[in-house]
Amino acid sequence: MHRSIAFVAFLLLAMPVFAQPAPQSESAPANEPGATDNRPIALDPFSILGRLDRFENIGGSAYVVDQEQLEEFDYDDILRVLRSVPGVYVQEEEGFGLRPNIGIRGSGLDRSARIAVLEDGILIAPAPYSAPSAYYFPTQRRMKGVEVLKGPAAIGVGPRTTGGAINLRSTAIPDATNIFLSPVAGSDQYREFYGYAGGSGDRTGWLIETVQQESDGFKKLASGDTGYQIKDYLAKFRVTSDPSASFFQALEFKFGYTDQAADETYLGLTADDFASNPLQRYAASQKDHFEGRHRQYQLTWTVEPANADWSLVTTAYNNDFSRNWFKLGHVNGVGISDILADPDSFTQEMDWIRGGDSPADAFTLRNNKRKYFSRGIRSAVTRTQWLGATRWQATLGASYHEDEEDRFQDQDGYRMTAGMLELTTDNPGGSQTNRVSSAKVFSVWLDNDIQTGNWIFQPGVRFESMELERLDYDTMDPGRQADPARRRENDIKVVIPGIGVTYLLNNEWRLLAGVYRGYNPPSPGSTANEEESTNFETGIRYRSGLTSVDVIYFYNDYENLVGTVTASTGGGGQIGDQFDGGEAVVSGFELSASYVFDGLFNRGWSVPVSVVWTVTNQFEFSNSFDSGFGPWGNVLAGDEMPYIPENQGQLSIGLVGKKFGLHMRAAYQDETRAVAGSGPILAGEGTDSKWVLDLSADYALTPTLDLFMRVENLLDETYIAALRPAGLRPGKDRSAFLGFRINL
Write out pLDDT tens, residues 425-480: 999 999 999 999 999 999 999 999 899 999 999 999 999 999 999 999 999 998 99
**Mean pLDDT, range 566-571, rounded to an integer:** 76
Q: Indicate the residue type of 475.
A: T
The set of residues, in sequence order, having a beta carbon less than 8 Å from that of 345 and lying 6+ positions away, is none
Report residue 212's pLDDT band, with 50, 70 and 90 as the boundaries.
very high
Report residue 52's pLDDT band, with 50, 70 and 90 as the boundaries.
low
Report residue 224's pLDDT band, with 50, 70 and 90 as the boundaries.
confident
**Mean pLDDT, range 18-27, rounded to an integer:** 38
- DSSP strand E in 48-142: where? 62-65, 88-91, 101-104, 116-119, 122-123
**Mean pLDDT, range 331-336, rounded to an integer:** 95
154 pLDDT more than 90:
no
Looking at every residue in the chain, the average pLDDT score rounds to: 90
The set of residues, in sequence order, having a beta carbon less than 8 Å from that of 26 and lying 6+ positions away, is none
Q: Indicate the residue type of 84.
A: S
- pLDDT confidence of residue 300: 97
Integer CA distances (angstroms), 640 to 253, 420, 535, 566, 617, in order: 47, 42, 19, 21, 11
How does DSSP classify residue 157? T
Q: What is the pLDDT of residues 583-641, one digit of tens each?
A: 999 999 999 999 999 887 777 899 999 999 999 999 999 999 888 788 888 899 999 99
CB 386 within 8 A of CB 20: yes
Report residue 580's pLDDT band, with 50, 70 and 90 as the boundaries.
confident
16 pLDDT more than 70:
no
Task: Characterize 228-261 residue by residue with b for buried, 16 or more Cβ atoms within 10 angstroms of its Cβ, and e for exposed.
Answer: bbbbbebbbbbebeeeeeeebebebebebebebb
- pLDDT confidence of residue 572: 65
- DSSP strand E in 505-577: where? 509-520, 531-544, 547-564
- pLDDT confidence of residue 54: 61
CB 337 within 8 A of CB 353: no
Q: Could you tell me the fold of the domain covering 2-743?
A: Maltoporin; Chain A (2.40.170)
CB 170 within 8 A of CB 70: no
Rounded distance between C-alpha atoms, residue 43 and residue 396, angstroms: 13
20 pLDDT more than 70:
no
User: Of 57-71, 136-150, 699-713, which gets the smallest average pLDDT?
Assistant: 57-71
pLDDT higher at 572 or 37: 572
Rounded distance between C-alpha atoms, residue 631 and residue 342, angstroms: 16
Rounded distance between C-alpha atoms, residue 551 and residue 553, angstroms: 7
- pLDDT confidence of residue 571: 66
CB 143 within 8 A of CB 70: yes
Length of the chain: 744
Q: What is the pLDDT of residues 693-731, one digit of tens each?
A: 999 999 999 999 999 999 999 999 999 999 988 999 999
Task: Characterize 125-158 residue by residue with b for buried, 16 or more Cβ atoms within 10 angstroms of its Cβ, and e for exposed.
Answer: bbbbbbbbbbbbbbbbbbbebbbbbbbbbbbbbb
The set of residues, in sequence order, having a beta carbon less than 8 Å from that of 80 and lying 6+ positions away, is 73, 97, 667, 694, 712
Longest dimension (CA), the chain: 85
Q: Indicate the residue type of 610.
A: S
DSSP lists the bridge partners of residue 302 as 250, 313
Most confidently modeled range among 286-300, 522-536, 619-633, 673-687:
286-300
